[in-house]
Structure 1
Amino acid sequence: MAAATERDPFMTILVTGATGPFGRLTIDALLGRGIPAGEVAALVRDPGRAEDLAARGIDVRVGSYDEPETLDAAFAGVDRVVFVSGNAVGQRVPQHQNVVDAAARAGVSLVAYTSIVRADTSTLGLAAEHRATEAMLAQSGVPHVLLRNSWYLENYTAQIPTQLEHGAVLGSAGDGRLSAATRADLAEAAAAVVAEDGHAGRAYELGGDTPFTLSDYAAELAAQSGRPVVYQDLPVAEFAAVLVGAGLPEGYAMALATSDEAIKDGALLVETGDLSRLIGRPTTSLSDAIRAAL
């Protein structure tokens, strides 16, 4: 990986999805890197949820992926963009096209897009919209960098109360290893590529330094909590039904369950070391993530 250089001063960096967990962490990481608050803009749908950002000196701009007419004003004067993928699975292709088009019209110098591991070749159902977005960026002519993120560790640690209550971690991943990383680590990588020069044209495969199985996860949770927890592997349809029972829409539940099954084939295994190199330190370990969640 070529060494990056300091970015030019007095450039506006726009973070989309700025009131979501990833967007907020990215803004924190930018400020932590010494980017002045006045050079950071936040794209939000509801300014009422961004009052804390405005109070920190962040330039709050209102716009929606679904409303392209709102994006030109939001992108005005922007140099670099952390483009956080939308969460409306099944609707993201037109939404993302609106964002890419706005970036092109604004003449931004770099878009950093949060994609998924090996989006160009992945068989994961959730990869299709990311692959389409990567193609949009390539066709747009806008300089860009692809942040191909593995699973968030929080996908698992957020479920710890339920896991402890039932003494089980449920999934369809078998003995497959995955390279999950914390949102904060992945957001720090996003901040790094827009805070420095030298990243345009790259695709980074991002994951935690130490892969683990869901059995490993259950064992670590049991050890730290002092309570019995085991991994219970389920057929995909049964796991999807569990997710539906937990309140997820049926289509999204099946997408997550089939993604879990794909872990068996290494779909979320990353061994590039890209994430730790970008953030300049080892990634947060599974043990530390569980300890923080507990």
Structure 2
Amino acid sequence: MIGVTGASGRLGRLVITELLQRLPTDQIVALARTPDKIADLAVRGVTVRRAEYDDPATLAPALAGVERLLLVSGSEVGRRIVQHRNVIEAAVRTGVRFIAYTSILHADRTPLRALAEEHVATEEALRASGLAWTFLRHSWYTENYEDRVRAAAATGELVGATGEARISSATRADYAAAAAVVLTTEGHAGRIYELAGDEAWTMNDLARIVGEVTGRPVTYRNLTPEDYKAYLVQQGTPPAVAEVLAVLEAGIAQDALFDDSHQLSQLIGRPTTPLREAVRSWFATR
């Protein structure tokens, strides 16, 4: 059986969707902190179990019979090392043979050190576990920019602090397809995949595409990280959150999200979703 943690989240659900196209439902185990949120999967025949990263007592029963597992990284920055180790230790005890883990692009050398620290620690824990593993190192989700794009379409201005840095983003669906391939085919154990979109774009490119899609001119205003933080606070962002976002922009400005290896499209056997297509979809749905 193949298990997916975080199955009620946006990425986890998409991975389950991909697996349903490849496997009988009785071979899929969807693990979530709140199983009621994925009750629809149970109706379809998927095995649904409660698994809470912070509650080790839930993890061994949740992993019973699972041979291959996708460990979707937790969302609680600062708690993830403990949480992920809980899952890994339960996997060892229950006989899981293989774990694929969603890490961050170029985890060992990224300028985004604040985000990478917990991913690197998790990778180290997996290496030491004795389990077979694959690291799926993700660049940004294109969807991370949806709210900023909508605001830019309304105001005519996209604001940031990344200069002309290249961003090789991909959609959650692209990353979900890669996870499904690794979970259902052989030859991936011990591999590190640097997963990123085929298309590298700048914030100026994004502004131009938003303008073309909406028919309203949009320009990009590049700020220093300090001025970007002040801008965010002025827009109502809590200062602590604004500080984190400004630090991230400074890292992205160093090409932290750029990768031109095309490992993602090679893994999924198709091109990754173009930026223009993603932007168009955001305005087509509302």
Same fold by TM-score greater than 0.5: yes
In structure 2, which of residues 34, 48, 53 is the aligned counterpart of residue 60 of structure 1?
Answer: 48
The SS at the match of 1:198 is: coil
Aligned CA distance change for structure 1 residues 243 and 68 (closer, same or farther; 3 Å): farther
* Worse-matched range after superposition: 197-206 or 153-162: 153-162
In structure 1, which of residues 206, 219, 227 is the aligned counterpart of residue 216 of structure 2?
Answer: 227
Give the number of equivalent residue pairs.
282
Aligned CA distance change for structure 1 residues 35 and 250 (closer, same or farther; 3 Å): farther
In structure 2, which of residues 52, 71, 74 is the aligned counterpart of residue 86 of structure 1?
Answer: 74
Q: Would you say the 8 A contact 1:66–1:98 is kept in 2? A: yes
Q: Would you say the 8 A contact 1:107–1:142 is kept in 2? A: no
Which residues of 2 match residues 105-254 of structure 1 at below 5 A? 105-124=93-112, 125-243=114-232, 250-254=239-243
1:50 aligns with 2:38: yes
1:76 corresponds to which letter in structure 2?
A
1:292 corresponds to which letter in structure 2?
S
1:36-95 Cα shifts (integer Å, max 9, x gaps)? 111111111112211111111111000200111110000111011111000001111111
* Worse-matched range after superposition: 207-216 or 240-249: 240-249
- Report what 1:23 is aligned to: 12
* Worse-matched range after superposition: 237-246 or 59-68: 237-246
Distance 2:204 2:42 in 1: 43
Distance 2:239 2:52 in 1: 25
In structure 1, which of residues 268, 282, 285 is the aligned counterpart of residue 271 of structure 2?
Answer: 282
1:192-219 Cα shifts (integer Å, max 9, x gaps)? 1001011000000001101000110110
- Report what 2:87 is aligned to: 99
Report deviation, 1:245. 6.4
Gaps of 5+ in 1: 1-11
Distance 1:245 1:67 in 2: 39
Aligned CA distance change for structure 1 residues 74 and 249 (closer, same or farther; 3 Å): farther
The SS at the match of 1:175 is: coil
Q: Would you say the 8 A contact 1:158–1:293 is kept in 2? A: no
Report deviation, 1:160. 2.9
Report deviation, 1:162. 1.7
Distance 1:248 1:113 in 2: 31
Gaps of 5+ in 2: none
* Worse-matched range after superposition: 248-257 or 226-235: 248-257
Q: Would you say the 8 A contact 2:5–2:51 is kept in 1? A: no
In structure 2, which of residues 245, 249, 262 is the aligned counterpart of residue 256 of structure 1?
Answer: 245
Q: TM-score, normalised by structure 1?
A: 0.91
